[in-house]
Amino acid sequence: MMLYNASWRFHTLSTFSRRELFRHGSAVAATALTIVAPQTVRGSQANSKISVGLIGSGGRGTFDATIVNADPRARITTLCDLFDDRIEVATQRIKADKPAIYKDFEKLLASDVDAVVIATPPFEHPRMLEAAIQARKHVYCEKPMGVDLAGVERVIAAARKADPNKDVAVGFQQRYGPVYLEAFKRIGEGQIGDLVNARGFWIGADPFKRVPYPDPKIEKIRNWFCYKDYSGDFIVEQDCHNFDVLHWFLNARPIRVNGMSGRKVRTTMEISDHLSLSYEFPNGIHVNYEANQISTAGFSKVGEEFTGTKGVIETSRSRMVHHKPPREVETMNSTRDITIDGIEAFLGRIESGKVENVAERSAISTLFAILGRTAMYRQGSAEWKAEFGDV
């Protein structure tokens, strides 16, 4: 994901202050589209495809847009990013046919695209999602829903005002992965008995390599992951996936969390490199969570475990494992990257008109991570009510 801010221009970035970097831009509303059969509106076969613009043409945005452009129902027609090299790489990898290029995301939203993918750094998600909703576009916004409570509340407010005919999707793709859907069904049916305990983890190598740039302000933007105000720290930027699964499966907000974290290896970044948390949920459910980004390359352990009175289910992007007493084990493997499932479902809802708006629930999942970050920065505890009130 790479950063784009509507009020910036590449050649003047070095003159901007930190406050100006975070100044909110105004959203430009576009004309609403009525959902009918695409071919009825657009005429030719080429024009019958859902027109999608990409805001943030870095690695993640390019990956998402490649899936969109490969789908027979859609095409990437516009690309937006602050940096020319990102646009060039994205154009080649996506294989889009002569896409329109923008450096102003508000101009993209004012264009005639049907939908947008937002894949900018996390601190930009609230205002860009808000603007896309105001422009009455279908939206697929990458996670998380912000880096602090104010950003998350902005997302919730925007979501509640969204056009009910527009799809507002978030890149929590586990919600659409067949192995996760099967695990959720089995737990709901009581196949592991009463749920008594859960665990989550994301242990792996450092996914981000810092690159030097001569201009310090451009350096911070290009290396956004390294800065907690831009990324939210890795618990918010990455581990929010686990917390969305916990939110989904437990169907509750945490009461409190105790945590600790540190920076033992990755000392050149402003963020942590390891953490350990213990959450308390209603009904006496306790969830241990552990993560690091300092493990040896090639080693990883990512997923969740749900323990019941009659069995255990393990979940991950690659498989579901159901442990049944006394010693029976059933495994269901994923057949592909579940991001494809999430994006295909998004396009399918646009095509059918049976839309959903998941921004608010995704914002709550993001707060699970922000609560954990609060506790680990304190090397102590944090309570939901004290930090977030009735959110």
Contact between 199 and 305 (Cβ < 8 Å): yes
Q: Is a pLDDT exceeding 80 seen at residue 34?
A: no
Pick the more confident residue, 347 or 29: 347
Model pLDDT, residue 38: 41
From the list 312, 276, 272, the residue with the least C-alpha distance to 291 is 276
Identify whether the C-beta of residue 51 lies closer than 8 Å to the C-beta of residue 79: no
Percent of the chain past pLDDT 90, that is, above it, reads 88
> What DSSP designation does 268 have?
T
Which pLDDT does position 46 carry in this prediction?
56
Distance of CA 65 to the CA centre of its chain: 14
Whether residue 309 contacts residue 320, with contact meaning beta carbons closer than 8 Å, is answered with no
Strand order in the sheet with 274-281: 328-333, 319-324, 311-315, 301-308, 195-203, 285-292, 274-281, 256-262, 381-383
Q: Residue 242: pLDDT above 90?
A: yes
pLDDT band at 106 (very low <50, low <70, confident <90, very high): very high
CA nearest to 207, candidates 222, 233, 225: 225
**pLDDT at 265 exceeding the cut of 50:** yes
Q: Is 124 helix (H, G, I), strand (E, B) or coil?
A: helix
CA distance 373 to 261: 9
| 139-168 pLDDT tens trace | 999 999 999 999 999 999 999 999 999 999
Element (H, E) at 94: helix 84-94
- How do strand 285-292 and strand 274-281 relate by DSSP bridges? antiparallel
Using CA atoms, how far apart are residues 53 and 82, in angstroms rounded to an integer?
Answer: 15
What tokens does 183 get?
């695990």
Pairing of strands 319-324, 256-262: unpaired
Pick one of 3.40.50.300, 3.30.360.10, 3.10.450.350, 3.60.20.40 as the CATH number of 175-336+368-388.
3.30.360.10
Q: Where are the beta strands (DSSP E) in the chain?
A: 50-55, 74-80, 100-102, 115-118, 138-141, 168-170, 195-203, 256-262, 274-281, 285-292, 301-308, 311-315, 319-324, 328-333, 381-383
pTM above 0.95, yes or no: no
Q: Do domains 10-142 and 175-336+368-388 have the same CATH topology?
A: no
Domain boundaries, the chain: 10-142, 175-336+368-388
Torsion over CA of 287, 150, 378 and 199, rounded to 10 degrees? 10
Q: What percent of the chain has pLDDT over 70?
A: 88
Name the class of domain 10-142: alpha beta
Residue 36 has pLDDT above 80, yes or no: no
Q: Is the pLDDT of residue 29 over 50?
A: no
pLDDT at 379: 98
